[in-house]
Structure 1
Amino acid sequence: MTATIKDIAKKVGVSPSTVSRALNGNSRISDITTKKIQEAMEELDYHPNSLARNFANGLTYCIGLIIDARDENTFANAFFNRSVFAIEKVIQEYGYSLIITNDRKKGAKSTVENLMLEKKVDGLIMPSSVMRPELIKELNQAGFPFIVMGEPKKYKSEATWIDVDNELGSHMAVEHLIQQGYTRIALVTEKPNTVFSQKRLAGYLACLKQHAIPINQEFILEYGQDITADNKRIEELALSSGHPDAFLCGNNIIAFNVLKTLKNRNYRIPDDIGIVTFDNYPVAEYTDPPMTAVDVDTYGMGIQVAKELIRKIQDNSNDRNHMYIPTNLIVRESSMKGDRENNDKNGGAS
């Protein structure tokens, strides 16, 4: 005979309504009770009727993730993929499935608008890069739950968004370099018009100002338009009078090229020039010397994005929250001049 919710409730020692709420992913049901219910379901070979459950509570148990289908590099971005993996992991725990879509226009309405109007998803997640004012307005007017992944450049007060704290990460990196004895710190960044680059610049400038270190505009460089020319500029800057004694780099590719350029000119890292990079992936810990890195937790961001959206769905909430995920500094040899100098003064490390 097929098991029912009442059979599960009797075995676990809870009410049928508690079992029903657990099956619906209600966050108010404790993890311990949820686990017991899941074990009982497995033991009794119980399979919930998803169609009936969805019809009863008006939910699809699907979440839409909007991507930019025109950008062929979307899924080549390891950091975006880590966020998506975290989102998928969390929503599965709550009984949801992930639908990947794009905001392409099909007639009068876009694909995303049709998903919302036809109630094919219960909520939406979108990177800040695909935000459209018309879509944001329509979502808010409909009271439809959505989360923006990454701090948007515009319409910040019109949406709930979650991002990594790039300003804090930059401040931490510069503070570390200053504590290690570096005072002429260059910032080499990519895509200067993006919010994350602007935040990193703000953290860099704030820390220098805090320590009364003069700001040299020649030490603030954009990288990525022409790598050969960019490497040449790094080389020329490193050979100039009063050259930087440290570089804070926007990613591992920039940092690797800066490291290679400096070593080609026989600079010793970290004794002559220190290097810190944003991101601990893909090469920071494998270079020679291993590079100090600002660890950008995109996996943690994905977890928070998923949990916040599910909360909004379950609570039928239209609140608009803004959240930063803290960064972490992983200190390695590329920036440890101060420690090496102390060891030398003390006759070497013990």
Structure 2
Amino acid sequence: MTATIKDIAKAVGVNPSTVSRVINGTASISEETKEKINQAMKDLDYHPNSLARSLVNGSTFTIGLVIDAGNKDAFSNAFFIQSVIAIETAAQARGFSVLITNHSFSDSNNIKNLVQERKVDGIILPVQCMTDELVDLMIGNKFPFVVMGEPQENKDKITWVDVNNEEGSREAVECLIRSSYKNPMLLVENRQTIFEANRIKGFEDACRSKKIKTYSTHTFSENKIEKIIEEINSGERDTDSFICSNNIIAFKVLRAIKAQKMSVPMDIGVITFDNYPLAEYMEPALSVVDVDTYKMGETAAELLFKSIRGKEKKIKSMLVSTRIIERDSTKRKN
């Protein structure tokens, strides 16, 4: 026979209303009582009726997570997966489920339906999926949402969370200086994105503050990097280290250096953004600017739940700190 709220209340010795408040999180109950009620629910295999909860609370107990439908590699991306795990963990801790939905710029009706029909209580939206139309829709409907990634526009109208890319570049420069490198180069993939622009700014600010006279930034291409490393090898260029914007660039830099029969880290130092799972297994092991995407997902979820509960009405922007993990690719002997 299926257990009821009355069965839980009888087992713990409290009123059924107390059990209901614990399940719905609608009142302050002592931790001791909560633990007893939660344990009784486990012992009696009690499962709350989600439809009844929704009707009572006016809540779906579900949040939406939008993914980029055009990015077929999204679920193979270790960093994206870490954010999803963090969001799911935060939701479960609050008794919520996560509904994942696709987005494409040609058709955003699925997101519109979630908002207008209140099928979810709030949405987490990657910045690459953000459009003026969607922002206006959610603001107009007073619908809770958080953007993951720093937007280029409407920053004062929305709550967003991103990695502190300026800080990451500054820390990378300082790491290279500590290892006696003097003339770094930053290699980026696309200068037009705001996160790359922030990395460039952090890099250039750090070089100026450290009084580094010879530093440069380039948009990466294999032909260009091969030519640059040839020039380093011939003495035409005094660059002695690279900061790479991702692991693919770093791998190709390592390969080009090896082709010139030069040594990492003795001749050239290499550090990359993102602690990709294979970074420490490359030859040599790559020093990295570790980007905590789990923390970014967790922070986005926390801000969304505050907004859903009405406890956070101000627009907020938050940056998640980076950290350096130093490995063999920058450990030059002085």
**2:113 counterpart of 1:114:** yes
Share of identical aligned residues, percent?
45
Higher mean Cα deviation, 81-90 or 23-32? Answer: 23-32
- CA displacement at 1:188 relative to structure 2: 0.8
Q: Deviation per CA, 1:127-158: give whole Å up to 9, x if none.
A: 00111112112211221100101111111111
Structure 2 CA distance for aligned equivalents of residues 181 and 49 of structure 1: 63
In structure 2, the residue matched to 1:8 is 8
- CA displacement at 1:110 relative to structure 2: 2.0
Higher mean Cα deviation, 14-23 or 39-48? Answer: 14-23
**Equivalent residues in 2 for 1:199-348 (5 A)?**
199-214=198-213, 216=215, 219-223=216-220, 226-227=221-222, 229-239=223-233, 240-315=235-310, 317-337=312-332, 340-341=333-334
Q: Does the Cα contact within 8 Å between 1:255 and 1:276 map onto a contact in 2? A: yes
In structure 2, the residue matched to 1:66 is 66
Q: Does the Cα contact within 8 Å between 2:228 and 2:237 map onto a contact in 1? A: no
Structure 1 CA distance for aligned equivalents of residues 257 and 304 of structure 2: 46
- CA displacement at 1:197 relative to structure 2: 0.7
Structure 2 CA distance for aligned equivalents of residues 115 and 157 of structure 1: 24
Structure 2 CA distance for aligned equivalents of residues 234 and 17 of structure 1: 72
Higher mean Cα deviation, 21-30 or 254-263? Answer: 21-30
In structure 2, the residue matched to 1:89 is 89
- CA displacement at 1:268 relative to structure 2: 1.8
Change in 2 beyond 3 A, CA 1:59/1:190: same
In structure 1, the residue matched to 2:195 is 196
In structure 2, the residue matched to 1:132 is 131
Structure 1 CA distance for aligned equivalents of residues 170 and 27 of structure 2: 36
Aligned residues: 333
Structure 1 CA distance for aligned equivalents of residues 302 and 167 of structure 2: 23
Structure 1 CA distance for aligned equivalents of residues 32 and 301 of structure 2: 21
Change in 2 beyond 3 A, CA 1:311/1:11: farther
Q: Does the Cα contact within 8 Å between 1:104 and 1:110 map onto a contact in 2? A: no
Change in 2 beyond 3 A, CA 1:309/1:25: farther
Instruction: Give the unaligned 5+ runs of structure 1.
Output: 342-350
Change in 2 beyond 3 A, CA 1:140/1:79: same
- CA displacement at 1:2 relative to structure 2: 4.6
SS at structure 1 position matched to 2:277: coil
SS at structure 2 position matched to 1:157: coil
Q: Deviation per CA, 1:88-119: give whole Å up to 9, x if none.
A: 22212222121122345899x72211111111
In structure 1, the residue matched to 2:183 is 184
SS at structure 1 position matched to 2:307: helix
Q: Does the Cα contact within 8 Å between 1:143 and 1:318 map onto a contact in 2? A: no
In structure 2, the residue matched to 1:346 is none
Instruction: Give the unaligned 5+ runs of structure 2.
Output: none
In structure 2, the residue matched to 1:38 is 38
CA RMSD in angstroms comes to 2.5
Q: Deviation per CA, 1:289-335: give whole Å up to 9, x if none.
A: 21111111111111111122122112364321111111111011211
- CA displacement at 1:73 relative to structure 2: 2.9
In structure 2, the residue matched to 1:347 is none
- CA displacement at 1:27 relative to structure 2: 9.9
Question: Which AA in structure 2 matches 1:277?
Answer: T
TM-score after normalising by structure 2: 0.91
TM-score after normalising by structure 1: 0.87
Change in 2 beyond 3 A, CA 1:17/1:222: farther
Change in 2 beyond 3 A, CA 1:331/1:5: same
